[in-house]
Each structure stands twice: as C-alpha cells, then as structure tokens.
Structure 1
Amino acid sequence: MADQQIKLLEKAIKEIQDQAEKFGLDFFPMRFELCPADILYTFGAYGMPTRFSHWSFGKAFYRLKTQYDYNLSRIYELIINSDPCYAFLLDGNSLLQNKLVIAHVFAHSDFFKNNVHFAHTNRQMVETMAVHAQRIREYEFKYGRNEVEIFLDAVLALQEHINPYRLIKEPERQKPAEENKPETPYDDLWSLEDKDEPKLPVKEKKFPAEPEKDLLQFLMQHGHYLEDWQRDIIAMVREEVLYFWPQLETKIMNEGWATYWHVRIIRALDLSEEEAVEFAKMHSQVVQPSRMSLNPYLLGMKIFESIEKRWDQENKGESGREKIFEVRELENDISFIRNYLTEELVEELDLYLYQKVGHEWKIVEKDWIKVREGIVNKLVNCGYPYIVVEDGDYLGKGELYLRHCYEDRELDVPYLEKTLPYVYLLWGKPVHLETVIEGTTILFTYDGRKNSRQILRKDKK
C-alpha cells in the first residue's frame, strides 16, 4: 500500500475513534495491522495469530482461501479480544471497506471490554497461545509428531465439552500426618468419646458425586493411563476453548452491536456521494437475510434498534440509548433473544422454524413465541450436545458412563460412533454413552475394538 494510502487510513482511524468515543463507546487501546489475504485467512483459520499446528486448521484455511479466490466470501473483519486489542485489515480492501471494518471492530472491542461474560477472559491469550504452541512443538520433538497429532485429534474432538461456568476444581489431597496432630493438649480427651461409638458401615461414594459436565477436565484429571505431557495438552486446549467460549455464547449480540455502531459511525463521517453508495452496498451485504440460517449481524442489530426505539417511546425513566448499553453489559445470546425478540421483529424478519420432513425441508412453525423458544433452544450450550459424566467407575471396573441430556435434539449417530474411540483413547477403558434415538433410550459402547448398541428402554407414548 502506498504511503499516501496509509496516511489516509491513519486519518480515518483517528476520525472513527473520535466518533466512537463521542457515541460513548469504551474500548481497549486499538492496534491495527494491514495484512495480505494469505496471512489474514491463516489467522481466521487458526482463530489467533499464534497457535499450535494441527491439520484441521489447515483444512479451514483452504476452505476460507478458496471462497476468497472465487469471490464467494471474504473476511471483512478479524479482531482479537485482548488488551491492547488487535484488529487486522485486508490490504486489498478499498479505503471505505477498511473504514467499515475499523468502525465495526471499535464496537467489538467495546463489547469485549464491557460485557460481563468476558469478565474473566485472559486478555493476554495471544502470548499464552504462543507458549502453548512452543510446548506442543517440544512434545512433538520428544514423543514424535504423529503421536502428538493423534492425541490432539482426540482432544479436539471433545473440546466443546467443558464447563465454562466454574473454576477448575483442584483434586482433593490427603492431609500430611503432621496436619492431623492435636491442636491443643486436650484434643485427645475429646476424641475418647468417639472411640466407643459403634461404627456404621461406610456408604460407597458415587464417582463423580454429581453429574459432571466438564468432560475434558474429568478426563484430564482421571484418565487411567495418561502421561503428564498428555494431561498438559488437554489443559492447554481446555484453556483456549474457555477463552473462545464467551464469543460463542454472545455471537448474535456481539455482531449485532458492532453492526449497529458501524452504521452510525460511518454515517457520521463526511462521506462523498460515491462513498455513501459504496457503503450502502457493503452494509446491505452484511445484513442480507438467509433462508436457511440466522444472520447474527442482522438479527442482533434489529433487536438493539428495537430496544432503543421501544424504550424511547415508552419513556421508562431511561433513554433507549442508555438501555442498549445496559443490555450490552449484562446479557448473552439466550437472555438477549428471550427478553427482547418481539412478535413484531419475528414478523418483520420473517423468522420461522423448519425441519426435514421426508426428503424435503419444510416450515413447521411460525408462531412467534415458539419461534423465539426454538431459536433459544438451539443456543443452549452454544449449540453443542449437553453431555455429562454419570459414572467414572461403571460396573466397578473403572469404565466411563456418559449421559446425553436429551431435549428433543438427537445426536448424529455416525459422528457419535466415530467420537467414542477418542473418548476411549483419553479414558483408557471402555466408554458408554446413553442417549435417545427415535424415542428409544440406547446405550452406545466402545470397548477398544468395536462399537455396540444396547436398547435400555422404549419411551411410552
């Protein structure tokens, strides 16, 4: 890019930042980088500028790059949730395209900084991932690249099965003998009363005591034959998924917030007639509806606009603008949709539920409340199956019993049967998974050699 174009871009960044601050956006210090397409799509595939190497990231890169080469799609924005916040601009973009991206990412940074679900985010994850990548390279050198990649295949196949809502529980430790010494000279006297009491049989404790959602952590802590380097890899992958999780559970809000603000910031700039037309075309592409999926940019923006309009009209003691800043701070996608998606918006956006009936996809529901709840249901656990560890010592043989918390969404059976061997690799003993298929509760088992199925019960109709 020529020096003159860089100066124009730097000027645009300053103007957009000033305008964003006038609107009340509160963001991290911003760092912008111009990148060629290959670099940008590498970052997009890996999710970060620095991350460990795995074939699945390469697969994602070639898919993104092919779509770009054939002009089927392009990454307009790439921003890293960090402090300072890094945003990457495509050097092939026009000045106005980059202006839109700049306005968009300033709003993203505001969201990252202020939404409560990001409160515990590791803002230095770029550096952390670089350290992870180095450790994994060292394991590849020590144990063999193929051995490490096979293990990573297993961990990444299960990476979404975590519990982001609590801290890691440290394994209980036995007290050293010296910690069990009497605290006072009289403690032994008090303990004499207990010695003559009849001892009741000790009830065998369930393992785990309660169903455990964090499968990855459970396998890391209790896998029978894992070596230290393998437990370390699980811990690193889990830490990275925890970093990305708030972005998964606020995608509609986050993109809607950024879209809402890029419209207002760009319109506040002094655009030429030609730039105004170009911006209108670009924005229409961003918010174009889809027949088969939700466009988070469109849906999120429309809900924020609806909230602002309703609060202004109803005069609830705060302006609509104040209300959307409050919503931005407190909600995630589930509460955002459930609390603020209205009947009018469902009708305006022509939202509906559909499913495959026979060989055809058909609309099955247009009632706005059922549509809203249908959208919410698909957002639970960020859309991933909710699976818990029921028993880590099933049949008294150390086997693993998992249960799918079924809520009218069946598991993909071929995918399930391909995934169980990965769980077996990490656990080290036979694994079982209970789920519901076509109204029948079935137990899937993998014993290290083959998959099998057992009907547990048929639901009564």
Structure 2
Amino acid sequence: MTGELASAPLFTGSDWDFSLINRIYETVEPIALQEMKLDIYPNQIEIISAEQMLDAYSSIGMPLFYKHWSFGKQFVTNEMMYRKGLRGLAYELVINSDPCINYLMQENSATMQTLVIAHAAFGHNHFFKNNYVFKQWTDAEGILDYLEFAKRYIAQCEERYGQLPVERVLDAAHALMNQGVHRYPRVRPRDLKAEAAREAERQAYRDRIYDDLWRTVPTGAKADAIPSDARRAALGLPQENILYFLEKSGPRLESWQREILRIVRLIAQYFYPQRQTKAMNEGCATYTHYRIMTTLHERGWITDGSFMEFLSSHTNVVYQPTYDSGQFGGFNPYALGFGIMSDIERICREPTEEDREWFPEIAGSGDAMEVLKDIWANYRDESFVSQFLSPHLIRQWRLFKILDKQGESELRVDAIHDERGYRRIRRSLAREYEIGRQEPDIQVVDVDLAGDRKLIVEHAVLDGVQLDAGDAAMVLQNLANLWGYEVLLKEVDSETRKELKSHSAQPNMAWLR
C-alpha cells in the first residue's frame, strides 16, 4: 500500500466502527514503517469511554494499579471538571509496554481516531522503544506483569495487616516518590518480571539479616571508635534514592513494608524517563502524526474536510501563548518539540548559510528522517534544546532572555538576537529542562546508628531556591515515620556549602503501631 493513491477515502463522515479502525491502522502502518522507517513494539489498540479515561487518569495512566485513596480523589476531581466543561480529556493514552497499549476514546470522530493512531501507536511507540533514557531505565516487556504483582501483593497486605497500616505506608512512600529514583544509569534495565518472582527470596533474606544487623549496632563508648567515613561508606552514603535507603536500612520497618517501598520506587523509576523527555516524546509523536496525516490527505485516503478537522486539532495542540498574552505559563512541550523537529527538517533540506555554520553535520544532508531518528534515540530534552534550537527559530518565536536579580528594582534584557544572545537564550532554555533543576537535590548523608539513630538529610540549594517550609515539614514527617527516629534536614548552598536552614521531625508513635 506504500505510495498508493486511494480510489476512495477511508471515510467521509465522523462515524466509525471497529472494521474502519482496522482499515485505518492498515493504511497508516506502511507509511510509518516502510516510508518513515519507524521501529515500534507490537500495538494493542483498545477503545475506552470517557469514564474509563477518567479512571485511567486517576491511576497515572496505567492499566493495572494497586488501590489507594488518592486515586479516587483524583477521579472525582477530574470527573467534576470534565462534567462542568472546565477540562477536556486526552484523545488517547499510550502505555510504554510490550506490546504497546493504546487507549482511544470512543467519543472521538473517525478523523481523530486516525490522528491518535498515528500519534500514539507509531510516534510515541517508536520513541519509547528507541530513546536511550527509556532503554536504560524501563522494562517494557515486564511492566504489566510487575503491576499485576504489585496490585496483588498490596491487596494481600491489606487482608493480612489491615487497610490503615498499608495506607499509611503508601501515603508516606508516595510523598517521597520523586526522591525514590536512581538518577544515574544502570548497566541494563531492571527485569521487572523477575522482580515479582524474587519477592519471597528477599523476604527470607530480610528475616535472617535485619534482626542481626540492628542487634549488633554498637552502643555507648564503643560508638566513638567507628570513624564517620567508614560508617557512611558501610551504609552507601550519600544516597540520593531515599526510598531505596529506607527499604534497605530502615530499622523499624517490617518486611512487607519494605516490599511496598520497593514497589513504589520501582514504579517511580519507570516514570523517571518521561520526566526527562516530555518535549521530545510529544514532539516526536506530533511530528509523526503530522507527516502521516499530510501523506494520507495527499494520497486521497482522507477528505479535505477531514484534513481541516485534523489541522484545527493540530493547531490547538501546538499553540504557544506569547509572554505578553496573559496565557503564558511556560513552553508548551508539543509546540517546542514539534517546532524544533520541523526546523531540523528545514535545515536538512533547505539550509541557509547560517544553518550551515551552526549545524554543519546535518545542514543539507537531505534525509531528515534519519537525522530525526538519531536525535530521538540519543537525546533528552535538555541536550535536545541545547543542541538544536536554531537562531532561525529564536527569531521566529521572538525569544529573548530577561535577567531578574534579587535586590535590584529593574529587569534587564540579557540576551538579544545576535550570536552571543542566541547561545545564551539556547543555554538558558535548555537549563529549564535539566532534571536537577526541576526537582530538589536531596540526599541521605549520615545516620548515627551507634547513638540516637538520627537520620541526617541534606538539600543542595541551587540559585538560592530553598524548599517551601510547609511542604518540607509534611514530607519530612513522612520520612520520620518510615525511619522510626528523628530526621534532620539541612539546606546547604551547593557552591559555598554554607548551611542556610534546617528542619527536623520526630516520628509519630501512633503511626508506628
């Protein structure tokens, strides 16, 4: 079917049935796989209602998940906003799994079903399978089996230990979820299918080891004989993954509580790549659907009216409010990703002298898809913006950089449209996608096992931005409850190492019972 002109459009109205969905997929597939040469997991397409989409929202988009009160709260909030017309729903949800699961809304028109198949089943799917961050951190083949295990295990814990104790552990673990990831790559992605099978083995090991570990902790005068460096080294400190540290070293946690912490942190790790690649992932899917829908229209597979419906939706998706519009709330990841990728296509096919100077390796190469596939595989948002935001796009989007210094009454335009300004603007925007600046750098740095077992945690403060006192107090309380002893959080300037502020929390003894 590659390159074939249609004798008649696939559809002429908005109605669809499952037979039409199948014909749409069979028409889109050769364009994506043979012409664009995308590499995807096998696709599984499911049609869901608006209520099912709301339910998927509440469980962070996963088809299987354990029960927790926060998911019900999220469902009620989203449903109320949707029913009042204050919030729309996504046309689709796509799961990074093998096979790749694509949920299509049954309320979509035939045009929108075509669009979301192109967007999710081929664009997102290719990105999930090929981007290096996902390869390092996720196990697409094992995630569904692991979620099934997690759901079953937590249900069993509720039956055995009671709903409230399990809920308390989940509440605390969720509060620390963003501090429950390893930020540096492993040699290979974790085998989640094997993780579920090893739970019984881990429990037997804990039963044998942990009591002995804490019984042999020295007390009294012997404590002074342990060098602090040796003590920290033995515990693997500093440790950025707080949930991992609690799972391995929490003195008062039972084996089932450790396993719940493990479940939460492995799921947090699964989502970690998505936080680093939002603009690239959505840009890849949007660029893919634009290419496929345009090709379908050129070959007569969709009508002019259908193409206009698509363009209306596409334009809304990539709309970027200007800074002075009153609607600006940062950069739309769809607009940023699609804009840079479309500009890369221009540079590959019709470069200017400026493009040849800034992008000598890709300017005039002609094969935009090969360049884009290499970028989709080997970059994340920060490096993508810092390498490929062009002066042409900076001028087109009228970007500039403002310097806002604390203590000064006036703002200063710090970068304009000249060579130095282009580099400053690009570097400044790229830093907005640096994962270390999106989330606070908080690490466990010490614990006095031989004395009062006070856990010392440190926040490396960047650019003077400290933690919100209220949020810090609530999260620290959850950490203290899991640790079982006092926790001290120090906020330290990342450059001068000067202590700026400290917070402390004592465990809630009622929580521990």
Specify the TM-score bucket, using the shorter chain as the normaliser: 0.7 to 0.9
- In structure 2, what is the equivalent of residue 286 of structure 1? 317
- In structure 1, what is the equivalent of residue 218 of structure 2? none
Range with greater deviation from structure 2 (246-255 or 363-372): 363-372
Native 8 Å contact 1:394 1:401 kept in 2: no
Range with greater deviation from structure 2 (96-105 or 120-129): 120-129
- In structure 2, what is the equivalent of residue 255 of structure 1? 282
Given residue 113 of structure 1, which amino acid in structure 2 is its aligned partner? Answer: K
- Give SS of 1:119's match: helix
Identify the match of residue 223 of structure 1 among 226, 250, 256: 250
Identify the match of residue 114 of structure 2 among 96, 99, 104: 99
- In structure 1, what is the equivalent of residue 20 of structure 2? 8
Identify the match of residue 37 of structure 1 among 27, 35, 50: 50
Native 8 Å contact 1:365 1:371 kept in 2: no
- In structure 1, what is the equivalent of residue 131 of structure 2? 115
- In structure 2, what is the equivalent of residue 295 of structure 1? 332
Summarize the Cα distance change of 1:320–1:348 in structure 2 as closer, same or farther, 3 Å threshold.
same
After TM superposition, the structure 1 = structure 2 runs for residues 16-415 of structure 1, keeping only pairs within 5 Å, are 16-21=28-33, 22-46=35-59, 47-71=61-85, 72-105=87-120, 106-120=122-136, 121-123=138-140, 124-161=142-179, 162-167=181-186, 203-204=227-228, 205-207=230-232, 208=235, 210-269=237-296, 270=300, 271-290=302-321, 291-312=328-349, 313=351, 314=356, 316=361, 318=365, 319-351=367-399, 367=415, 368-381=422-435, 383-393=438-448, 396-408=451-463, 409-415=465-471
Native 8 Å contact 2:404 2:412 kept in 1: no
Deviations 1:399-451 (A, max 9, x none): 111111111232122101111110001111111111169x970111112379x
In the alignment, is residue 444 of structure 1 matched against residue 462 of structure 2?
no
Please report how far the alpha carbon of residue 345 of structure 1 lies from its aligned counterpart in structure 2 after TM superposition.
2.3
Native 8 Å contact 2:92 2:103 kept in 1: yes
Native 8 Å contact 2:16 2:110 kept in 1: no
Summarize the Cα distance change of 1:236–1:352 in structure 2 as closer, same or farther, 3 Å threshold.
farther
- Give SS of 1:150's match: helix
Summarize the Cα distance change of 1:210–1:370 in structure 2 as closer, same or farther, 3 Å threshold.
farther
Please report how far the alpha carbon of residue 365 of structure 1 lies from its aligned counterpart in structure 2 after TM superposition.
5.7
Summarize the Cα distance change of 1:230–1:350 in structure 2 as closer, same or farther, 3 Å threshold.
farther
Summarize the Cα distance change of 1:221–1:364 in structure 2 as closer, same or farther, 3 Å threshold.
farther
Gaps of 5+ in 1: 175-200, 451-461
Summarize the Cα distance change of 1:373–1:67 in structure 2 as closer, same or farther, 3 Å threshold.
farther
Please report how far the alpha carbon of residue 354 of structure 1 lies from its aligned counterpart in structure 2 after TM superposition.
7.6
Alignment RMSD, CA only? 3.0
Summarize the Cα distance change of 1:202–1:135 in structure 2 as closer, same or farther, 3 Å threshold.
closer
Please report how far the alpha carbon of residue 371 of structure 1 lies from its aligned counterpart in structure 2 after TM superposition.
4.2
- In structure 1, what is the equivalent of residue 8 of structure 2? none
Summarize the Cα distance change of 1:50–1:352 in structure 2 as closer, same or farther, 3 Å threshold.
farther
Please report how far the alpha carbon of residue 39 of structure 1 lies from its aligned counterpart in structure 2 after TM superposition.
0.8
- In structure 1, what is the equivalent of residue 486 of structure 2? 430
Please report how far the alpha carbon of residue 326 of structure 1 lies from its aligned counterpart in structure 2 after TM superposition.
0.7
Native 8 Å contact 2:47 2:106 kept in 1: yes
Distance 2:226 2:492 in 1: 35
Distance 2:500 2:433 in 1: 24
Please report how far the alpha carbon of residue 164 of structure 1 lies from its aligned counterpart in structure 2 after TM superposition.
3.9
Please report how far the alpha carbon of residue 108 of structure 1 lies from its aligned counterpart in structure 2 after TM superposition.
0.5
Given residue 342 of structure 2, which amino acid in structure 1 is its aligned partner? Answer: E
Distance 1:58 1:352 in 2: 43
Summarize the Cα distance change of 1:433–1:380 in structure 2 as closer, same or farther, 3 Å threshold.
farther
Deviations 1:330-356 (A, max 9, x none): 011111112112333234334466899
Summarize the Cα distance change of 1:355–1:64 in structure 2 as closer, same or farther, 3 Å threshold.
farther
TM-score of the pair, normalised by structure 1 = 0.83
Distance 1:363 1:282 in 2: 37
Distance 2:36 2:156 in 1: 48
Given residue 122 of structure 1, which amino acid in structure 2 is its aligned partner? Answer: D
Distance 2:400 2:177 in 1: 31
Native 8 Å contact 1:402 1:433 kept in 2: yes
Given residue 131 of structure 1, which amino acid in structure 2 is its aligned partner? Answer: F
Given residue 418 of structure 1, which amino acid in structure 2 is its aligned partner? Answer: M
Gaps of 5+ in 2: 1-13, 191-201, 210-224, 322-327, 416-421
Please report how far the alpha carbon of residue 67 of structure 1 lies from its aligned counterpart in structure 2 after TM superposition.
3.5
TM-score of the pair, normalised by structure 2 = 0.75
Summarize the Cα distance change of 1:363–1:233 in structure 2 as closer, same or farther, 3 Å threshold.
farther
Native 8 Å contact 1:249 1:333 kept in 2: yes
Range with greater deviation from structure 2 (83-92 or 267-276): 267-276
- In structure 2, what is the equivalent of residue 420 of structure 1? 476
Distance 1:384 1:213 in 2: 12
Summarize the Cα distance change of 1:92–1:366 in structure 2 as closer, same or farther, 3 Å threshold.
farther
Distance 1:449 1:7 in 2: 58
Range with greater deviation from structure 2 (206-215 or 265-274): 206-215
- Give SS of 2:434's match: helix
Aligned residues between the structures: 418
Distance 1:435 1:220 in 2: 24
Native 8 Å contact 1:352 1:363 kept in 2: no
Range with greater deviation from structure 2 (268-277 or 98-107): 268-277
